[in-house]
Amino acid sequence: MPQSQLLADCHLHFEGSLPASEIHRLAGRAGHAFADASAFESARGAMRGSNDFLELYAEVCRLFRAPEDYVPAAIAAASALADGGLRYAEVYVSPEIFVRIGLDPKACLEAIHAGFQESLETHGILCRILLDAVRHWGPESADRVLDLHERTRLPSVVGFGMGGDEKSFPAIAFAGVYLRARALGLRTSVHAGEWAGPDAVRDVLDSLRPDRIDHGVGAASDPALMQRLAEEDTILCVAPTSNLRTGAVADASRHPLKRLLDAGVRVTLSADDPVLFGTTTAAEYRFAAESLGISARELTQIAGNGWHAAFCTPAEREKGLRAIGH
C-alpha cells in the first residue's frame, strides 16, 4: 500500500473536507446545534441515502456567517486532508452556495485561496481549487461561476467541474459552459455515473469532453463503455465509502471498483466528503484492500493514477510520482 502523506486526491468538496472540530467551532459562533459534537455525530450517523447527505451538506454550508470565516476553515480543512494522507488535494468550491447563503462569492473564494496558500507553509500540503457548478441550478448558474473566475483569476484555481443532480439537466445544456471553461485555461471534470447509469457517463463524454470524471461507477454495467473509457484514457475519481453511504452502491460486495480495473479503466481513490462520510483518502486505500479485493500492486497503480489525474504542473506531478515510487 502506498505510504500515507504522499497521495493525491482530486475529488474533494470544501465544506465536506472540514474537520469535525471546525464544524463545531463554526456552529458555536452561529448558535447551531452542531456546536455539540454529539449532535453532529447523530446527524452523520442518521444519514441514509443521497437526500440525507444533501441536507446535511447544506446544513454545514449554512454555518458560515462572513467571508472571513473561510480563511481559518480552509487552513483547518488543509490540515485535516494532510492528516488523512495527502500531499496534494483538489477541492471543489461552489461559489453559488456563497450567494445562496447571502455572502459575497468573490470575497469567500479569495479567503479560501488565502487559507490554502498559508497551508502549504504550515501543513506541507498543496491545495488547489476546482470551481464547482451545481447541475440542477442550470447553465446560467454555471456561467456565473466562470464570470467570477474572470474577475478573480486566482492562481490556486486550476479547474472547473460540475456536481449535483445528474437527472436535472442534460449534459448538452452545459456544452457551451465547458467550451468557455477550456477557453479560459481551466481543466475540466464532471460528476457522472454516481446515481445514474452508463448513459449519464456516455452523455458527458459526448457533450462535455471532460479531462476526467468523478465517480463514474455507473459505467461498470456497460462493457462497451468501459472499453471506451480505457481506450480514451479517461480517469475516474472513485469514492467507495461515499458510494455506499449515499446508496449509489448497495453494499461493498457490489462495488464495481475491481470490475473497472479489470476492464483497463484508470481509476483513482477519493474521499469526496471525508467529514460527512467518516473517512480519509488513506482510509479509502485500506478499505479497497480489505473489503474490495484490490491488490497491493493495484493500489500502487491507483496512487500513480491520482497524480496523473491531477491538474498540477508537470514538475509537481513528477515529484509526486517519484515519492510513491513511480
Catalytic residue numbers read 194
Rg (CA), the chain: 18
Q: Where would I find the H helices in 167-272? A: 175-183, 198-207, 223-232, 240-246, 257-262
Contact predicate 256/273, CB 8 Å: no
Contact predicate 60/23, CB 8 Å: yes
Residue with cell 445562496: 100
Contact predicate 268/9, CB 8 Å: yes
Exposure string over 49-79, b if 16+ CB within 10 A, otherwise e: eeebbeebbebbbbbbeebebbbebbbbbbb
CA neighbor of 26 nearest in space, from 13, 42, 37, 38:
37
Return the DSSP state at 272: B
C-alpha cell at 316: 509537481
Q: What are phi and psi of 115, to 5 degrees?
A: -65, -40
CA distances from 51 to 141, 164, 165 (A): 22, 11, 11
Return the DSSP state at 87: E
